[in-house]
Structure 1
Amino acid sequence: MSSCNLLSAWHGVKIGKSRMRIWRLAILAIWWSVWEERNDRCFNGRSASVQAVWSRAKYLLLEWEHGLSVNIFTEDMTMLPRVRSLGDIIALHNVLMKDHKGNAQALFNKKCSSFALFEGKSCMGFIPYQIYSNFHITDQDEVLVTQIRTWLAHYKFDAGMNEYSLQLRDIKVGKYFDLVCKILHMSVVVDDVSILYVWDGTDAPPTEIQMNLDDEARIPLPLQSEQSPLSRDVLCTFPCVGTVLRFTVGKFFEDIGLQLQGRGQWVKFRNITCQLQSGLWKGVLLPTSKIRLLSDKDSAVKHCERGYVERLSTGVDHLPRPSSITEMGYGHVGFSSLMEVLTFTKVTQKFKCVVRFVAIYPWQPEDFRSPETGLYRIRFTLEDPTARIHAYLYGEDGEEFFGGCPTIEILTKKMNKLLGIPESDDAAGVNACRNPPWVQLCIKSYYLDKNDPWTTRRYRIFGARLV
């Protein structure tokens, strides 16, 4: 069937007037989703399942069904409306109303149109917190603002949770969703590209690691998705519990959304998705993605904050549940997340953590010992929901960890179990898709140069045994 015939047949369906607009939007949402999927496959080498494309079409239909579109043009980005909180009020003067394909749109002309932004709280006066240059408030504006505030006082106005709203703990690759989160930091990569760091207090799901272990010597598994690690000063501003998700954002989002409030602002992203990069979650903004500033009193924000406080109050329950394949002493010390390890106030310290072993170098058991000294020297890559680090196993700590001098066969079995390598894998883990278990571990930090302790800080495994 041709596109014309399909469109004709679609519009020929007899349906009630109240549902006709949604029915007409549905075919556009389907076509748009299929077209974007086609572009992804042709130009980006990515493909999604039929269910994911259908999910995206349904999301777009929900997005297009509600709201009045207002196109505002100004001489530069800083003059655009900068809404502080969800529920605030915008007054628009001299805008042109147009019908675009059956949908009402307001068109802003920078020469004759104007706007003003008012707080949505009923107790506030009529002094706008932002005014476009030629805006003049009228008595009618005050009447309308008062009426809207009265209505808002009896209306539970929140972030608009729907079936697409997820927390980071529920994300899946390629699934389109909305996310209420807190902006922790933003770093500029190049002039028009930045990385945005967001958090909602939950842990993103652990991922399978797909990597050739022979590549660890030449191309180590990265510790973060960005090329350069954040400074310790920045990391110290991050929460120590919960995954920090990275987004690569362009200048549009920087100018319109992110510079309004900066770090600490709660926002809602609409129509985003996630990908995996070297086993790390990475947020993806789409051409149809939107960002909305939220008030600290928004119900969705309160839900995130309440969940975070409850996690912290449950002690070790905020950590992943470890398996029993490791044993350790040092029982008088509480558990720490890797973010706490990275940001601890002292250079040298001992920690207990729950982590996954996601990479190892060297990976062949016969190479674990130095050929010169016969001592163990291994570099592990450890991760938890908050961070990844390199940790080293040396000398007597290696003897304790592996339980003396096991045979190569026994050592291989233990390491395969620790790294999550399937027992049936004939290649002994070289190309295996690995799902490492959570294990308990003791780590101590030290430094290589007393004149530069923080830059030369390293981590070492001790006091643990693999069973």
Structure 2
Amino acid sequence: MGDSRYIVKLKDLSSFTQRKVNLLGLVVEFSVPRRTNGTDYCTVLKIIDQSQQTPEVAVNVFMKDIDGLPHLRSHKDIILLCSFKVEFYNQKYYAVYDHKASSFALFDGRISDNFTPYQVSPTFHHLPKDDVFVRRLRNWSNNTPFDAGISDYAVPLKDINGHDFIDLVCMVLHVCEVSSGKWVLFVWDGTDAPAVDLKKELGAEELPLQLELTGLPPSVLYNFPRLGTVLTVVIDEAYVNFGNHFKIVRDWVRIRNLHCRTVLGLWKGVLTPQTKIRHLSKDDNSVIEHLRDYKERVAQCGYLPSCISPTSNFLTEVPNFEQACCTTLMEILTSPLVHGTFKCVVRFLAVLPSEAKYFRSPSGPYRMTVTLEDPTARIHALLQNGDADEFFGERLDIDVVAMKMNKLLGVSELENSSRNPPWTVCCIGFHSANETDIWGSRHFHICNTRLFM
């Protein structure tokens, strides 16, 4: 076999149509693995080299087993493709995997003296000369600034309304399997996803909390940002060991063709076979811009929802807490304190029981559970006893209490209308019943808040 192989430059692919070649390139993008119409699994990579950065060359990789597909680890990782067939379609050149002849190897893109690939296909043979090619590409990539450029379809989470598919620049916070073959990504871009109108009849029983979010281990949730929406992104079909294919955590990416939808008032992202993932470096212009905008937001408005100004008028007031700074529900969820009280701006989504005549217990005091939401999380909180008397005002008849609660819930008298609960300020107290499990045993209640409409 010899100790070397000929590597074709990407700019020369036009001379090798319908022939098998060896290629070495930086992987700048990959698609979500998908099942083909046959029995194979497929992923599409985009690669560049010293000779050609644009257009990027697409590489179609097919495997009988999804675990055999390339699993990219990080930005600027390198792939060596052996005996891939060059095809020309739709005015573009492609490299296509051939089951009988092709093989590949993935290398860390960082400069080092380690030239052992971190993943290889079964028939790959590592030759001594490969190390020279990899070293050259590493040196070039680390001395060459790259920027992913501007996407015409890039939309931040705050502007997601009205878009079915978007390109999203975001940080991947966590990846986990929530049930057999069902994987979830948690992503964040520093902005607030817009509040969603709710069906008029949608009550507390039908409104879920972000179960994937609240079910995370405290050690994971504690490292999430306290401000800005954490978007749950699911995959549109089951993928066993999908986590093996998505090693990007705490890194920035551009997710192309992310499907957006709402489920019971919660925004969800969906990865489809058309979705592509592009690694971004921390020096990418889009990443720098997102972080700059986030820092400016915190400096100017603190931890208020982005749709609220510091001078906004609310239906509620918080006596004795007027000068306190507002925080977010995520801050309350992740606070290391055993008990405390925070001032938040939230929406009242639902109340249980739903009818005002049942707000009071048979013995007389108020006792109800409300579902609260801000751009970072949803929680259930008790409103009861003296806190409820202060909230509604004492000795009010049922009709007045019902009218006040409907105002908070955004209930309109029009039939078949949706609800758009207004933003309100309130104090939320919390305590943990078990000091050895402060997050798992945490309960919330509304306090020090007065509804004055």
TM-score by length of structure 2 reads 0.75
1:403 aligns with 2:389: no
User: How many angstroms apart in 2 are the aligned matches of 1:366 and 1:281?
Assistant: 33
Match among 172, 176, 199 for residue 187 of structure 1: 176
Question: What SS does structure 2 have at the residue aligned with 1:392?
Answer: strand
User: How many angstroms apart in 1 are the aligned matches of 2:441 and 2:360?
Assistant: 24
User: How many angstroms apart in 2 are the aligned matches of 1:247 and 1:76?
Assistant: 24
Match among 223, 226, 246 for residue 232 of structure 2: 246
Q: Which digits, 9 at most, give the CA deviation of each residue in 1:299-356, with x for residues without a partner?
A: 2222223333333333536434253211112325332210111111122111111111
Match among 427, 439, 442 for residue 457 of structure 1: 442
User: How many angstroms apart in 2 are the aligned matches of 1:347 and 1:147?
Assistant: 53
Match among 220, 230, 244 for residue 234 of structure 1: 220
Post-superposition offset of 1:413: 3.1
Post-superposition offset of 1:247: 1.5
* Cα pair 1:360 1:381 within 8 Å, conserved: yes
User: How many angstroms apart in 2 are the aligned matches of 1:146 and 1:99?
Assistant: 28
User: How many angstroms apart in 1 are the aligned matches of 2:344 and 2:385?
Assistant: 21
Post-superposition offset of 1:212: 1.2
Which residue does 2:154 correspond to in 1? 165
Post-superposition offset of 1:183: 1.6
Q: 1:141 to 1:451 in 2, by over 3 A?
A: closer
User: How many angstroms apart in 1 are the aligned matches of 2:259 and 2:241?
Assistant: 16
Q: Which digits, 9 at most, give the CA deviation of each residue in 1:19-52, with x for residues without a partner?
A: xxxxxxxxxxxxxxxxxxxxxxxxxxxxxxxxxx
- 1:330-409 aligned at under 5 Å gives the runs 330-331=320-321, 332-370=323-361, 372-409=362-399
Q: Which amino acid aligns with 1:189?
A: V
User: How many angstroms apart in 2 are the aligned matches of 1:116 and 1:131?
Assistant: 6
* Cα pair 1:81 1:130 within 8 Å, conserved: no
How many residues are paired up? 390
User: How many angstroms apart in 2 are the aligned matches of 1:118 and 1:450?
Assistant: 46
Which residue does 2:258 correspond to in 1? 272
Which residue does 1:416 correspond to in 2? 406
Q: Which amino acid aligns with 1:373?
A: S
Q: Which digits, 9 at most, give the CA deviation of each residue in 1:283-307, with x for residues without a partner?
A: 1122211122333332222222333
- Aligned residues: percent identity? 38
Question: What SS does structure 2 have at the residue aligned with 1:313?
Answer: helix
Match among 165, 177, 181 for residue 176 of structure 1: 165
Structure 2: which 5+ runs fail to align? 1-53
CA RMSD in angstroms, aligned pairs only: 3.3
Which residue does 2:428 correspond to in 1? 443
Question: What SS does structure 2 have at the residue aligned with 1:272?
Answer: strand
* Cα pair 2:115 2:134 within 8 Å, conserved: no
Which one has the bigger strand percentage? 2
Question: What SS does structure 1 have at the residue aligned with 2:62?
Answer: coil
Question: What SS does structure 1 have at the residue aligned with 2:326?
Answer: coil
Q: 1:157 to 1:256 in 2, by over 3 A?
A: farther
Q: Which amino acid aligns with 1:461?
A: I
Q: Which amino acid aligns with 1:369?
A: R
Post-superposition offset of 1:246: 0.8
Deviating more after overlay: 143-152 vs 449-458: 143-152
* Cα pair 2:76 2:141 within 8 Å, conserved: no
Question: What SS does structure 2 have at the residue aligned with 1:238?
Answer: coil
Q: 1:310 to 1:361 in 2, by over 3 A?
A: same
1:310 aligns with 2:308: no
* Cα pair 2:359 2:368 within 8 Å, conserved: yes
Q: Which amino acid aligns with 1:254?
A: F
Question: What SS does structure 1 have at the residue aligned with 2:274?
Answer: strand
- 1:77-96 aligned at under 5 Å gives the runs 77-96=66-85
Q: 1:131 to 1:337 in 2, by over 3 A?
A: closer
Q: 1:406 to 1:113 in 2, by over 3 A?
A: same
Which one has the bigger helix percentage? 1
Question: What SS does structure 2 have at the residue aligned with 1:251?
Answer: coil
Q: 1:80 to 1:299 in 2, by over 3 A?
A: farther
Which residue does 1:298 correspond to in 2? 284
User: How many angstroms apart in 2 are the aligned matches of 1:451 and 1:90?
Assistant: 47
Match among 198, 216, 238 for residue 187 of structure 2: 198
Q: 1:92 to 1:334 in 2, by over 3 A?
A: same
Q: Which digits, 9 at most, give the CA deviation of each residue in 1:164-184, with x for residues without a partner?
A: 011111112552111121222
